[in-house]
Structure formats: C-alpha cells, structure tokens
C-alpha cells in the first residue's frame, strides 16, 4: 500500500518528487498524483494521529469505493450480475449472465 502519510510528511519538509518516490518506494507519478489530490482537497501535514493511510486513501479516492452490485431476476432461471470495476481509474460496467439450473435463489448459495 502507498504510504500517503509519509509522502505528505516528506513534501512538507521540502523534498522533491524524486526524493519522495525513492523514500516511499513508489513511482514519481504516484507521488505527484497524491500531492495534487491532497492539495485539491486541502489535506496538509501535520496530520492527526488517528488519520491512517486507509483513511487518507478514502479521502483522496472516494470514487474508488464503489461496491460490486449483484442483480438477480427472480422470474427466470438465468441470473445476471453487474459489476462496476475500477481499472486504472476508469469505471467499467461489466454484466455477466449464466444459467442456474436450481433457479435464481441458488446464485447466493
């Protein structure tokens, strides 16, 4: 996982993107993106102790928290699933269908 706290701490100390990327073992593009998103959202060092890397991820990338959605059509013996996935920052809607010999209820078992 990306160490968002350390990126912001090193940025506050005046380190450049290359130095930060080497220190946190991430790409320069990742560091640049984190710095840009943190600046846009007004997130600055020092951070509260309770603010974890997971919390920072959720603040910086709220759109990535989309959950998979399952849709079952009860009138037929075919089930449908619709997944919203995030691939490199782009959201794709993938639908799949399949035959369920025991009816739609067996999709959940």
In degrees and rounded to multiples of 5, residue 16 shows phi and psi of: -85, 175
Q: Residues 45-58: pLDDT tens digits? A: 999 999 999 999 99
Residue ranges of domains in the chain: 4-62, 66-108
Contact, 17 vs 29, CB < 8 A?
no
In degrees and rounded to multiples of 5, residue 44 shows phi and psi of: -135, 155
Q: Residues 43-101: pLDDT tens digits? A: 999 999 999 999 999 999 988 876 545 555 455 444 445 455 555 555 555 555 444 44
pTM given for the model: 0.61
């Amino acid at each position: 996982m990306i160490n968002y706290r350390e990126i912001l701490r090193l940025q506050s100390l005046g380190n450049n993107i290359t130095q930060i990327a080497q220190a946190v073992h991430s790409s320069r593009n990742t560091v640049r993106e984190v710095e840009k998103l943190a600046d846009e959202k007004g997130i600055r060092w020092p951070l509260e102790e309770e603010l974890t890397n997971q919390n920072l991820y959720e603040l910086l990338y709220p759109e990535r928290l989309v959950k998979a959605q399952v849709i079952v059509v009860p009138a037929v013996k075919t089930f449908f699933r619709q997944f919203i996935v995030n691939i490199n920052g782009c959201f794709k809607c993938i639908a799949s269908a399949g035959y369920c010999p025991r009816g739609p209820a067996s999709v959940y078992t």
